[in-house]
């Protein structure tokens, strides 16, 4: 809200009636995605999670193709099969250990993909900052209600965790999505998606430097296969749009 008033966008808080349900749905999906995503992150290596979440851009494009009633080409289908193979490779022989985490992250990825698709289809009617504001406000209420009714309320934590939580809340759900939504005003979906593919590289470096965590060779190989398949899929979609 502070950023909205500083940028003098408070007059845009009243959104078109046609955008009310999409904003409500986006907020609820954000809350659900956060809850299951954090549970999955508690089970899996952060770099492996970043590789798995490369499904998100592919899911966004698939939703867009479905919405526009466009068909998939053979090369795109091959890329999807490659992505699935990378996921199976990563979990092969270890499903009992990481299976729950993989399912949770995939569910969170679907929730995020739906959010990005909703944002793309409403970006001309609602400014990116207002989209982020309603997205986070509704998600915060949803998570708070879930926490209260599930009996998970606990404020008895160390002060340093409050700082980490507030910083993470600003960088992740707020700043990152604000930049992503803004990119939709200048770039088509496919071009923005290609840039999002770089996330695992940043996650890998940060995990090694700050957490001293490195994915297993099996996770790394499966993640690379997922990344190759995802980049191939998005690049083919981008070339089709530009041609």
Positive/negative CA dihedral, 199, 202, 208, 214? positive
The two structure tokens encoding residue 174: 């707020």
Residue 203 to residues 19, 33, 50, 199: CA-CA distances in angstroms? Answer: 34, 19, 7, 6
Gap between the Cα atoms of 69 and 193, Å rounded: 20
Q: What three-state secondary structure class fits 138? A: helix
Quick one: pLDDT at residue 203? 72
Residue 24 has pLDDT above 90, yes or no: yes
b or e along 37-56 (b: 16 or more beta carbons within 10 Å of the residue's beta carbon)? beebbebbbbbbbbbbbbbb
Task: Please state the length of the chain.
Answer: 243
- Strands (E) in the chain, as ranges, are none
pLDDT band at residue 57 using 50, 70 and 90 as cut-offs: confident
Model confidence, pTM: 0.74
Gap between the Cα atoms of 162 and 155, Å rounded: 10
Quick one: pLDDT at residue 29? 92
Residue 65 has pLDDT above 80, yes or no: no
Gap between the Cα atoms of 191 and 235, Å rounded: 9
pLDDT band at residue 191 using 50, 70 and 90 as cut-offs: low
Quick one: pLDDT at residue 146? 87
Which is nearest to 240 in space by CA: 124, 70, 116?
70
Pick from 12-26, 98-112, 203-217: least confident: 203-217
More confident residue, 29 or 61: 29
What is the residue-wise DSSP string for 6-28? HTT-GGG-S--GGGHHHHHHHHH
Positive/negative CA dihedral, 54, 236, 26, 137? positive
pLDDT band at residue 2 using 50, 70 and 90 as cut-offs: low
Angle at 159 between CA 155 and CA 163, to 5 degrees: 105
- Note the Cα 57 to chain centre separation in Å: 8
pLDDT tens digits, residue range 216-240?
Answer: 787 778 878 888 887 888 788 777 7
Please report where in the chains the tokens 């923005």 appear, as a residue: 192
Residue 82 has pLDDT above 90, yes or no: no
């Amino acid at each position: 809200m502070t950023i909205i008033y500083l940028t003098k966008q408070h007059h845009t808080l009243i959104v078109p009636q046609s955008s009310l349900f999409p904003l409500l749905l986006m907020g609820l999906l954000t809350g659900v995605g956060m809850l299951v995503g954090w549970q999955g992150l508690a089970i899996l290596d952060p770099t492996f999670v970043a590789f798995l979440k490369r499904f998100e851009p592919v899911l966004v494009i698939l939703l867009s193709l479905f919405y526009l009633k466009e068909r998939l080409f053979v090369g795109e289908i091959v890329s999807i099969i490659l992505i699935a193979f990378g996921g199976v490779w990563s979990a092969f022989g270890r499903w009992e250990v990481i299976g729950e985490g993989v399912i949770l992250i995939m569910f969170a990825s679907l929730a995020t993909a739906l959010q990005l698709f909703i944002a793309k289809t409403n970006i001309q009617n609602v400014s990116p900052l207002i989209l982020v504001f309603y997205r986070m406000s509704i998600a915060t209420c949803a998570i708070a209600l879930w926490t209260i009714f599930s009996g998970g309320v606990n404020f008895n934590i160390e002060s340093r965790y409050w700082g980490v939580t507030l910083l993470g809340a600003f960088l992740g759900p707020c700043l990152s999505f604000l930049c992503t939504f803004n990119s939709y005003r200048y770039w088509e979906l496919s071009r923005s998606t290609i840039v999002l593919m770089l996330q695992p590289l940043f996650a890998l470096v940060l995990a090694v430097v700050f957490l001293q965590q490195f994915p297993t060779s099996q996770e790394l190989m499966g993640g690379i296969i997922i990344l190759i398949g995802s980049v191939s899929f998005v690049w083919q979609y981008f070339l089709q749009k530009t041609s």
